[in-house]
Structures are given as structure tokens and as C-alpha cells.
Amino acid sequence: MLDATPRGEVAERSALTINPCKTCQPVGALYAALGVHGTMPHSHGSQGCVSFHRMFLTRHFKEPAMASTSAFTEGASVFGGGANLKTAVRNIFDLYDPEIIAVHTTCLSETIGDDLHSFLSDIEIPEGKRVIYCSTPSYQGSHITGFSSMAAGFVEHMAQKSDVPSGRLAVIPGFVNPGDMRKIKSYLEEFRINYTLLPDTSGVLDAPMTGEFEMFPKGGTRAADVVRLGDAHFTLALGQWASEAAANALQRKHGVQYATLPLPIGVRATDEFISALSGYSKHPVPASIEEERGQLIDCMLDAHQYLDKRRVAIAGDPDHVLRLTEFCLELGMSPVYVGTGTPGGHFEERVAEVLARFDVDPETVWFKSETDYFEIHQRIIQEPVDLLLGPSLFKQVARAEDIPLVRVGFPILDRYVHPYLPLVGYEGAMRLLRDMADALMDRLDRDCDDKDLEFVM
């Protein structure tokens, strides 16, 4: 496995990425669009692109990810895809009757310079229906950039301001699983906050099995609520990379002030989220949440001896990776390699801030944005770690170096149930703690002598 990875010096590269810690922009745009009820995501490009995007999402969520395509052929690739888009919009409304078509671009349509704004200005949209769009050239950014652009696209094209404040808190949850969105909503409800979550894939990509296929499952942010976002009282953006652009668009367009909070993964980040909800709602923290936090701290103390000083490599999406790094430090672990494939956002500075909070010398940790699993693998070969934390794409490194992997983030293509269970909140941290402790303790059981195999650990 990965026999070609050099085992000597780390090979420096400037123009080649091998096994990137990211995927392409439209995957994120498609996911965000599925979080608005009655929306058909539409890929303006070739059929091959949308097949890949749908397959990727379907394999992570184990649910069908519906989307349509402009189905570029050679003609559209040379002369532009305006005619294809016009036909597609008419057919989609006729055949599937969505409330909204959410169009994103692809490498091909961006490269030939298709102008969605002018195409869509010339297309007749049926009464009561909407077509929104965003630009997602995949030779830049990542699936996180695509998610962020589509969430902002809904705000740009749909949010309106009236004379009547809605009194709602707008919450942009970031590129998280439906289970996380349910958890975020449960916290908001415990504080009795009137909110709009955009997007909201709960009830869409974790919908129960009913035996009936529904093109547009019951879940998702309602279009009417997206329209009313312009009247919101305040916005909380959870995660700088995935959520800030939508909050910023709402402020720019309609003057709704916002705060960007870390994704609530781990103790401190969840504390910050809960404090923000308490401050906003002017309600004290409910006893149920206090209890949940106390249970987490108890579990952290219980398992401390198995996690303390364990060396860990963390990879994935930047909002997740930052908080996973912080949670590992809260547990007394030693993150030694921290990487993301998504560019921008001053990732290295943010990691350095987290390390400084725990008095960790940044010289002792390798951290980098726009990196790939090949580079992380080379570094692990030089100085091994005890645990890998990241998506399924870390699996080959885990096998090659015989290191346990705890699957976390996106995509998890080779295991089940993950999208249903939260990683956010104190409950999510407890689950992650259990998974990491289990992985390390399973390894102890596997490697110890027969005489040392303990029933009680």
C-alpha cells in the first residue's frame, strides 16, 4: 500500500498534488442546495461532472443526492451552454416541479466563460418559481468553497428586507452532517430561540426509510424563511471557511450584523456557541446542557490515561481540522501533523492561535493548508504517530503505516451511520472521545502479550 511514497527525505513539490485533502467545488454547492426544501441542484457542465458529484455525496450519506445537469456536449463546450441551460430549466420545472433550481458552474463552463447571470436573465421562469446560481470553478478552492458560495448564493438571490423584523436568529451551520444540524437545532430550541438555519440537510439526507421515494424530502430550510432572512435580527456563522460568506452577504445586502464562531466541536468551541446562544436569548444555560457538559468532562478524565501525549495526525476541512486540533489538545494529546486541502482563510495563523492557547511551541507541530495525503504520509514515515483523525481518504496511510484511523469529517465513504450522529456539541465531543479512546485501546489489546490482556482498562 502506497509503496511509491518516498521513505527518505520529504520530497518537495510545487506543481503536483497527490491525493488532495479536498474535493471539487460543486460537491459542496450541491450539498448546500439540497439543504433548502424543494430545491433541485443543477450542474452547469457535462454529465460526467454531476455523476461524480452525486456519487460522492450518495456514498457519504448513503442516500440519493438528486441533481440535474446542462449535459454539455462538444457543441456546448465550444459555443457556450446557454441553450442547454434554457432547455434544462424548462424541462426541470415541467418534469420535477421544484420550487427552486440552484445552478452551480463547473470547470468546463467556467473555462469557456459562460455567464449565468446573462443566460438566466433571458430565461422565462414560471410564476412562483426561482432560479438562483453561484460560480464554482473547481480549479480553485474546494468543496468547502463551493458550499460557502452556494449558501451565499441563496442569500444574494432570495433574501429580502421588509418593514417587519422577523426577530429571528439566522444560523449558517457550515459543511456539517445532518446529525450535526439536528444537534445545533436542538440547542437553539433549548434556548427557545426563533431561528432560521441555512442550509439544513436534516430530514433530507438522513430521512427515515418509508418505502416511498420522494424527489424532495420533507426536510430543508423553507424558501419563505430564506426570503425573510433580510429581516433577521442577527446571524451566527459557524465556521469561518464554510459559513462566513453567507453571513457577510446578508450584512452587505440587508445590514444584518453577524458574528463568526468556531464550529462547535470540542469543549471550548461548544462553550463559545452555548454562551452566544445564552447571551442572544438572555436565558441562562439550561440544566440539561450543563449536565451534558459535565458528562463530557467526566468522560475526558476517565479516559485521560489512554489519550495523554498520544501523537495524532489530523486532516480534512479547515473548520473541522482547527476544532479537532483544539479538542485533541483539550484531551492532553499531541497533534503533530495538521493539514487541510482548502486554501485561504489564514489557516496556518489560526492553527498557531490554537497552539498558543495551550502553550504548544508551533515549531513542534507541522501545519499546512493546500496540502495532500502524500505529503502528510511522507512526514508520518519520518516521525510516526499513534492515531490518524480524518476522512476515509486517510485509510491508505493508515494501512500502509499500520496506524489506527478514527473517521471524522467528509467524506466517509467506507462506513455507515456517521452522517446521523453529531460531532458538534458536548455530545458530539463525547462520541469522538469514545472513538479515539476505543481505537487506541483496541491497538493495546491487539499488540499486548496474552498475559497482559486486561478485561478492566
Find the length of the chain: 457
Q: What minimum distance in Å lies between the beta carbon of 138 and ligand SF4?
A: 4
Report CA-CA distances (Å) from 248 to 133, 166, 236, 322, 404. 17, 19, 10, 21, 40
CB closer to ligand SF4 out of 52 and 216: 52
CB contact at 8 A, 181 and 36: no
Q: What minimum distance in Å lies between the beta carbon of 140 and ligand SF4?
A: 11
Q: What minimum distance in Å lies between the beta carbon of 65 and ligand SF4?
A: 14
Q: What minimum distance in Å lies between the beta carbon of 261 and ligand SF4?
A: 30
Q: What minimum distance in Å lies between the beta carbon of 33 and ligand SF4?
A: 15
First to last CA, the chain: 33
The amino acid present at 410, given as its one-letter code, is F
Chain residues that interact with ligand SF4, rule: CB under 6 A: 24, 26, 45, 49, 52, 106-107, 138
**Strand order across the 405-407 sheet:** 366-368, 334-340, 311-316, 387-390, 405-407
Would residue 361 be called left, alpha or beta, if left means φ above 0 and alpha means ψ between -120 and 50 degrees?
A: beta
CB closer to ligand SF4 out of 76 and 107: 107
CB closer to ligand SF4 out of 26 and 262: 26
Report CA-CA distances (Å) from 455 to 432, 437, 442, 445, 450. 22, 15, 12, 10, 12
Tell me the three cell numbers of residue 89.
Answer: 430549466
Tell me the three cell numbers of residue 381.
Answer: 514515515
Q: What minimum distance in Å lies between the beta carbon of 110 and ligand SF4?
A: 8
Q: What share of the chain is helix, strand, coil (3-state, %, to 5)?
A: 50, 15, 40
Q: What minimum distance in Å lies between the beta carbon of 344 and ligand SF4?
A: 18
Q: What minimum distance in Å lies between the beta carbon of 141 and ligand SF4?
A: 11
CB closer to ligand SF4 out of 138 and 392: 138
319: closest CA among 424, 415, 428, 181? 424
Report CA-CA distances (Å) from 374 to 371, 381, 395. 8, 11, 12
CB closer to ligand SF4 out of 20 and 286: 20
CB closer to ligand SF4 out of 42 and 182: 42
CB closer to ligand SF4 out of 26 and 173: 26
CB closer to ligand SF4 out of 45 and 220: 45
Where are the strands (E) in 258-359, listed by range?
258-261, 311-316, 334-340
